[in-house]
Structure 1
Amino acid sequence: MPDNLDRIGQQAIEHLSLKHAAREEALPKSRRVIRCCANSIRATHRHERASATELIAQAHQLLREIESSLQNHQDIYYAGFVHDAQKEYAEAVCFAALTQYQALPDAGELGIGWAAYLNGLAEAAGELRRYLLDQLRRGNLNDCENYLQYMDDIYALLISVDFPDAITSGLRRTTDVTRGILEKTRGDLTTAMRQAQLQQSIHELYQTLQQTSSAKQSSEQ
């Protein structure tokens, strides 16, 4: 047996042990990021903005810890689970900003990759549909039109990003889903607005008939 084989084996074990420990530390944190972001989105739907902001802050801190843990293990950092956590983080942040008419932060400001950011932004458009429908039930048509415009703008951005899926992490498929959500939402809102206009016309006609009837009764007296 070569004299240095034991040393090579020991070095390999030490290296892989460090890599395994880093992965075991980062993976649970990525799952916690996803849970925090899911709960933040739920809080935003409930208009619990303070809670949503706090959960986003927790997710941000966890992502920084993951980044630090995997600084010397870039192969694990790009294995996929960090991307998923970043995507959920982008979705939660962008969704909260859109519902509050705030400017969207970019990927650099969030400290995440652009592929994760764009996929998260696309999924935020899906959450915005649900939020829009809630506003529609409350009769807030002006807000609904604004949110639909946001969805339209997001889709216009997504279709301009034309790169292979290996670069964008499957953004093309996500964009196709966003298009379907956008068109369905547009149809729902258009139907609701036409119904609202019809109800308003009926109400105005009813008032006119009442006024005409009252005037006729007064003239007969």
Structure 2
Amino acid sequence: MFKLQTLESISERSHKEFATRTSVRDQALGQARQLTRHAAHTIRAIHRGEVENAQAELQQAGELAQALKKDLVKFPDLYYAGYTQDAIKEFTEASITVAIIQNQDLPSPENLGVEVATYWNGLAEVVGELRRRCLDILRQGYSDEAERLLGCMDEIYTQLVTMDYPDAVTQGLRRQTDLVRNIVEKTRGDLTLSLRFQLMEHALIDHTRRLNEAE
């Protein structure tokens, strides 16, 4: 038999549940925004050569990432929500970008405390930052450092193409992999062109020197 009292009791419990979840969600959104901001500041600082600043920003990002994981342990649906994982992906990208630019060991998903799919999507986005770094270097001329970074980009792509699983499992990694391929090839072309220009410049300088010596 339908009893109004029973429904009112269910309603009261539901209000408490919804209120709690809303409060937790609002806090998580705030943390995610802060995390994204610190990750962006980390990448900006490392590109500017501000290593200490980058490390400080990255540390704050890491603390926020761990706080999100801890605070949402009882709310897995909120932890795996798009806004949370997107923020953690940005942290992953920043961590790996700093490590590669500094020529340090590559942090693993376990090191960072992030989900595997989020890690690989963050790693895919690192390639764009490495291209940016390469172009900054090439403005000063071809260098071995640019070649090293291209090698890192190549290796990332090589591993990405092996992650051939459904998008529902990898969070859309296949599309990211396609973008990475294009970025790597464009960067390879830029490095090749820069090297050719440098060789031509050296040849021209050498030719001019020989002409001057012959006079």
Q: Shorter-normalised TM-score: what interval?
A: over 0.9
Structure 2 Cα separation of the partners of residues 66 and 150 of structure 1: 30
What corresponds to 2:181 in structure 1? 179
Unaligned 5+ segments in structure 1 are 214-221
1:82 to 78, 84, 90: 84
Q: Which residue does the alignment assign to 2:8?
A: 6
Task: Give, as a single letter, the amino acid of the residue that structure 2 aligns with 1:62.
Answer: L
* 8 Å contact kept, 1:94–1:105: yes
Q: Structure 2 CA distance, aligned partners of 1:50 and 1:12? A: 48
SS class of match (2:163): coil
* Letter paired with 1:201: A
Helix, strand or coil at the partner of 1:194: helix
- Give me the whole-angstrom Cα distance separating, in 1, the residues matched to 2:122 and 2:106: 12
Q: TM-score, normalised by structure 1?
A: 0.93
Give matches, 1:119-138, under 5 Å. 119-138=121-140
1:17-42 alpha-carbon deviations (Å, 9 max, x no partner): 11111101111110110111111100
Whether the 8 Å contact between 1:25 and 1:69 is mirrored in structure 2 is no
| Aligned residue in 2 for 1:216 | none
The alpha-carbon deviation at position 7 of structure 1 amounts to 1.8
- TM-aligned CA deviation for residue 141 of structure 1: 1.2
- 1:73 corresponds to which letter in structure 2? F
Match of 1:36? 38
The residue number in structure 1 matching 2:196 is 194
Give the conservation status (yes or no) of the 8 Å contact 1:95–1:124.
yes
Task: Choose from 44, 48, 51 the match for 1:49.
Answer: 51
Among residues 8, 11, 19, which one is paired with 1:17 in the alignment? 19
Q: Report how far residue 140 of structure 1 moved.
A: 4.9
Aligned positions of 1:47-126 closer than 5 A: 47-126=49-128
**Could you tell me the percent identity over the aligned residues?**
39
Deviation, 1:206, is 1.5
**Could you tell me the TM-score, scaled by structure 2's length?**
0.96
Aligned residue pairs, count = 213
Residue type of the partner of 1:127? E
Distance 1:100 1:67 in 2: 27
Cα RMSD for the two superposed structures: 1.1
Give the match's secondary structure for 1:104.
coil
Match of 1:219 in 2: none
Residues of 1 paired with 2:194 and 2:65: CA distance? 41
Q: Given that residues 142 and 194 in structure 2 are in contact (C-alpha distance below 8 angstroms), is that contact kept between their aligned partners in structure 1?
A: no
Q: State the shift of 1:71 in Å.
A: 1.2
Query: C-alpha distance in 2, partners of 1:99/1:70?
Result: 32
Q: Distance in 1 between matches of 2:50 and 2:191?
A: 25
How big is each residue's C-alpha offset from its partner over 1:67-117, in whole Å with a ceiling of 9 and x where there is no partner? Answer: 222111111111211110111001101111111111110111100111111
Whichever of the two has the greater Rg, that structure is 1
Write the deviation string for residues 127-166 of structure 1: whole angstroms up to 9, x where unpaired.
1101111111122511111111111111101111111111
| Partner Cα distance (2:90, 2:78) in 1 | 18
Separation of aligned partners in 2, 1:208 and 1:117: 55
Q: In structure 1, how many angstroms separate the alpha carbons of the residues matched to 2:134 and 2:193?
A: 14
